[in-house]
Structure 1
Amino acid sequence: MTNLNMMHKLKSTLTTLIFFAALVTVQAQEKVEKTFTGIKSIRLTTASGNGTIKKSTSNQVKVTVEYTYDEDDYTPEFDLSGDRLYIEEDFRRSRWTKGYSEWTLEIPDGLELEFKTGSGNIEVSGINVELNSNTGSGNIEVDRVIGEVRANTGSGNISLRDIDGRTTANTGSGSIRLENIKLKDGARFNTGSGNIRAREVEGELDFNTGSGNIEVEEATITGPSSFNTGSGNARVILASPLSNDLSLNTGSGNATLDFNGQEIEGVFYMKAGDKDDISAPFRFDKEYEEDRGWRGRKNYVKEAKVGSKDIRIRISTGSGRAVVRK
């Protein structure tokens, strides 16, 4: 047999193998669809399955799951108790069974939804819902939602956009991104080692990160608010006049409050490691050193009362710059 014939035969064999491999993959994928009426709350628990939640075109709840697990190892289970729907994955042998699952829930407005997954991603969009979402190592994305939102992940990222309602978000080592958020009754956002970036946010804000940066643009502060990072930079740019207490602190980065053309008023307390690291577009009433309590080191403090408002504004850094911009 010539080399050319051998190459043609090998190519034909590989093509056949690829065809049968694709056929096996298609055949291995299963799909289950369920429809429910009269549901007021849903709890979905998965091991590693991704979940997409979107608005239903009717008053019914439609659940679709597509999976490639062996049917001898895996069964999606549905339990209806009154107006409560419980959904979970039953693994007969081990949750480490080879395969994957993809969940899609189409739900009407006004439901309560709890979604827990070990390592899957969660996407929710275009509904009025009370949402409690938790994933161990996946990402959470929530878009165009009216209602209370709670988002928690161990090591994934959280993205929230166009939210109107009370909101909290926590991640151990991921980043948090916010855009066009109207926060009611306070809002808390925490990450252990990621960044927090926000744009067009309104409410009483509480942002905290252990070692990341905090960047807030076009902020409307409606209640006492704080922004804290252990070793990153923190910058807040206002979109409206400040009428509430604000605290902006970093351990080793720069802390900057930008009034963005708004009138500067309030009782200012600004602290840094050196007096030259404190700057503001107004004169200070008082300047003094403060004992840091570590190896005899000192902090430098500058205070000022500007305008008629008595709101308290604290800007502090351990080793960076404390700055107010007009």
Structure 2
Amino acid sequence: MMHKLKSTLTTLIFFAALVTVQAQEKVEKTFTGIKSIRLTTASGNGTIKKSTSNQVKVTVEYTYDEDDYTPEFDQSGDRLYIEEDFRRSRWTKGYSEWTLEIPDGLELEFKTGSGNIEVSGVNVELNSNTGSGNIEVDRVMGEVRANTGSGNISLRDIDGRTTANTGSGSIRLENVKLKDGARFNTGSGNIRAREIEGELDFNTGSGNIEVEEATITGHSSFNTGSGNARVILASPLSYDLSLNTGSGNATLDFNGQEIEGMFYMKAGDKDDISAPFRFDKEYEEDRGWRGRKNYVKEAKVGSKDIRIRISTGSGRAVVRK
């Protein structure tokens, strides 16, 4: 009896594996003369990487039933449109995995409802959007726009104009050189950056902002509603800078660089403001809420006329050498 049961289970497992293999489909397409691509998926993941030729190669692997799903490709001149056609429902059970191998110099727009997006090793103008997936961009030269509703965003080795937004995820940046103004926003996640260069605009509703080895090339601001905000410089500061938090600590670390500028520092208590220089002016400022006051300290240090504002509602405002 036991032997018969084992034999039956083995047979069932074999057929289950066979059905799984049979359910997997793979489609490969190659296109020439392409300058722009628009890929739209319901929930499929996407990997974008460098092509070894001037052609665009598209591979999709999926487990949806062929009666419910068809990948569609439409080339119109130098434009390529790719999308998923669900004849029943886009929530039909299964998954799809897209891989695009593309040459440099293309415009790529990738939209997915809930999948992840990975892009690496290409020079491209990228517009990536996902409803709840993660976005990872690595070794890309060109304009990058990354948006996700609740996923995380990771950008590394980027050279170009860049913006990134997530509703509740975190943003991580490493070795990023930004052209023009760069905006990074998250509703409740953290923003962490290392080896970053550019005119920076960081905002988070309730997360922390942590910036190391920053080279500021234009007016920059760092704002969080209730987290800590800390910026560590990698080069002398020559542009206006604003560092603000509602209830955390706000710290600007010159990291051995010469301290110069017109400083405006604000906190709930005078003892919560500290700097390695003497202040020229100290006074209270009305918060306009239940008669509460803020304490302000100002100083002009060195010869630069740049304005440096460091403020917190209930934490500490700090300048370090």
TM score, norm. by length of structure 2 = 0.99
How far apart are residue 316 of structure 1 and its match? Answer: 0.3
Aligned-partner Cα distance in 2 for 1:12–1:314: 75
- Structure 1 range deviating more: 156-165 or 13-22: 13-22
Paired-residue identity, %: 98
- Residues 1:142 and 2:118 are matched in the alignment: no
Q: Residues 211-242 of structure 1: CA distance to partner in whole angstroms, max 9, x if unpaired?
A: 00000000000000000000000000000000
Q: Deviation of residue 186 (structure 1)?
A: 1.2
Q: What is the alpha-carbon distance in structure 2 between the residues aligned to residue 315 and residue 7 of structure 1? A: 75
**Which of residues 148, 154, 158 is equivalent to 1:153?**
148
**Counterpart residue number, 1:62:** 57
Larger mean CA deviation between 214-223 and 11-20 belongs to 11-20
Cα deviation for residue 131 of structure 1 reads: 0.1
2:207 is aligned, of 209, 212, 229, to: 212
What displacement does 1:9 show? 2.6
RMSD over aligned Cα, in angstroms? 0.6
Structure 1 unaligned regions, length at least 5: 1-5
Residue correspondences, number: 321
Cα deviations across residues 16-50 of structure 1 (Å, max 9, x unaligned)?
A: 21111111101100000000000000000000000
SS of 2:122's partner is strand
Q: CA deviation at 1:306?
A: 0.3
| Residue 41 of structure 1, aligned match among 22, 36, 41 | 36
Q: 1:8: Cα distance to partner?
A: 2.9
| Deviation at residue 7 of structure 1 after TM alignment | 2.9
| Residue number in structure 2 paired with 1:167 | 162
- CA deviation vs aligned residue, 1:154-208 (integer Å, no higher than 9, x gap): 0000000000000000000000000000000110000000000000000000000
* Cα deviation, residue 314, structure 1: 0.2
What is the rounded CA distance, in whole Å, between the counterparts of 1:149 and 1:68 in structure 2?
Answer: 31
Question: What SS does the corresponding residue of 1:26 show, helix, strand or coil?
Answer: helix
1:271 equivalent in alignment to 2:274: no
Q: Structure 2 matches for 1:14-53, cutoff 5 A?
A: 14-53=9-48
Secondary structure of the residue aligned to 1:204 is strand
Q: Displacement of 1:10 after TM fit? A: 2.2
Query: Helix, strand or coil for the counterpart of 1:94?
Result: coil
- Looking at structure 1, the residues matched to 5 and 210 of structure 2 have their Cα atoms a distance apart, in angstroms, of 58
Distance 2:140 2:88 in 1: 38
Alignment of 1:1-326 (within 5 A): 6-326=1-321
Show structure 1 runs of 4+ deviating over 4 A: none
Deviations 1:100-124 (A, max 9, x none): 0000000000000000000000000
- Alpha-carbon separation, structure 2, partners of 1:7 and 1:211: 60
TM-score by length of 1: 0.98
SS of corresponding position for 1:72:
coil
Distance in structure 2 (CA, Å) of the matches to 1:159 and 1:240: 24
Q: Distance in 2 between matches of 1:223 and 1:53?
A: 32
Measure, in 1, the Cα distance between the counterparts of 2:45 and 2:2: 42
Deviation of 1:311 after TM superposition, in Å, equals 0.4
The Cα of 1:125 is off from its aligned counterpart by 0.1
Residue 12 of structure 1 deviates from its aligned partner by 2.3
Quote how far apart the aligned CAs of 1:251 are: 0.2
Q: Which runs of 5+ in 2 are unaligned?
A: none
* CA deviation profile, 1:57-90 (whole Å, cap 9, x unmatched): 0000000000000001000001111100000000
After superposition, the C-alpha distances for 1:266-301 in whole angstroms (9 at most, x for unaligned) are 000000000000000000000000000000000000
**Secondary structure, in 3 states, of the residue corresponding to 2:132?**
coil
User: Which range is displaced more, 167-176 or 17-26?
Assistant: 17-26
